[in-house]
Amino acid sequence: MNNWLNARAVIQFDSIQEQRIQPLLHRLVKLQGDPNPFDGVKGALFYNAANSMLKLSYGYSLQGDNDMIFQDMQHISEYSVRVGMFTNWFPGTGWKRTTCEWRALKERSQSAPYEWTKTQLAAGTAEPSILRALLQNHKLIAHLSEREKESRLKEVPWMIVAAGTDTTSTALVAFLAAMVLNPHVQAKAQKELDDVLGPISLPTMTDRERLPYIQNLIQEVLRWQPVNPTGIAHACWQDDNYEGYGIKKGTIVAMTRDENVYKDPEIFNPDRFQDPDVPYAPAFGWGRRKCPGIYFAEASLFIVVASLLATFTFSKKRDAAGQVIEPQIEGVSNAIVM
């Protein structure tokens, strides 16, 4: 995947991200009169992320909420939360029928966009995508048998879409929560946009380096509410001492909450990253196992976050008497977060 998603190569896909901003903003504007807009906003963010990932992977653009490929993606995301690995001897039989249905859905969700891209390629109308490049006898799959090629070519782009859609949309939901809870941060980011771009221009990918506060804001979102925790929560089962540090029974250590690294870790503060000694949170992992889509994901988060801040102000809801309603911010499981 590094051939297409490395820091330099991924720039070729910037237009994919930018072209999807206007439709996203239009969807959100329509929700302004909704007394309970959260599900609609979350759905719009998921749709936007799915649309970008499908274009990257297959060259395919969604045709609306009723698009069968999109419907399958939604069902896969919902089912992935509940699915587990079962053996044939596991008690009961109802789950077997359900998992068979899920398997059929997964196979269809892999085959449909794959066959669509193959058809486009045969007709000479396929747009640039990762699958198109692989189908054109890319050297990365030259050593595989024809049967293995088809299997891999169905799996790889599908995995990219599945991994990138849920994570990106979830990070954007966390961003919205952060803005509602921290209006001073939102105001500072909007001032940066006005100072750099003026009050009527939408940002583009070329503006990233000119908007350092917004870039730090995104990094703070990923630190504050990591999309993909890289380890199950652990706690000491007895008092311990490690290299002179006393660790009490029941202590839970969280990497992005280490006060020696992130001062006042529970406070949402993008300015912490102005200090060059404060590292970005390892939201995308490390080393060879680092998420291969990091540069595409960061670009996606930037263009959406900056565009939302340029267009909307997010605030707490008020009741009929005009009193502020304090929101209850709760995390939910998705296909990635356990």
Annotated binding site for heme: 291
In contact, 169 and 46? CB cutoff 8 Å: yes
Alpha-carbon span 105 to 72, nearest angstrom: 7
Q: For residue 331, give both structure tokens.
A: 């995390």
Tell me how far apart the alpha carbons of residues 298 and 310 are, in angstroms, rounded to a whole number.
Answer: 18
Helices and strands in the chain, H and E counts: 11, 2
Structure tokens at 154: 């169905």
Q: Which two tokens stand for residue 1?
A: 């995947």
Q: Which of these, 244, 242, 279, lies nearest to 258 by C-alpha position?
A: 279
Alpha carbon dihedral 139, 143, 147, 151, in 10-degree steps, equals -50
Count Cα neighbours of 166 within 13 Å in the Cβ-side half-sphere: 23
- Give the span between the Cα atoms of 334 and 77, in whole angstroms: 7
In the chain, DSSP assigns E strands to 240-242, 245-247
The annotated binding site is made up of 291
Contact status, residue 130 vs residue 136, Cβ threshold 8 Å: no
Three-class DSSP category at 50: helix
Q: Report residue 71 CA to chain centroid gap.
A: 18
